[in-house]
Structure 1
Amino acid sequence: MKRYGLLGNRSRDFLTYGGRVLTHHNAAELEFLVPVGAQVCELPRDIPNEQTLPIAQHPSMAAVRWPLNRSEFR
Structure 2
Amino acid sequence: MRTFYAWIEAQQEALFTAPLSRLLNVIQLSQFGAIDADIGFSYVPLWTPSEEQLANMRKVETRTCAGRYDGP
Q: By the TM > 0.5 criterion, same fold?
A: no
More strand by share: 1
Scaled to the shorter chain, the TM-score interval is under 0.3
> Which structure shows the bigger proportion of residues in helix conformation?
2
TM-score, scaled relative to structure 2: 0.20
TM-score (norm 1): 0.19
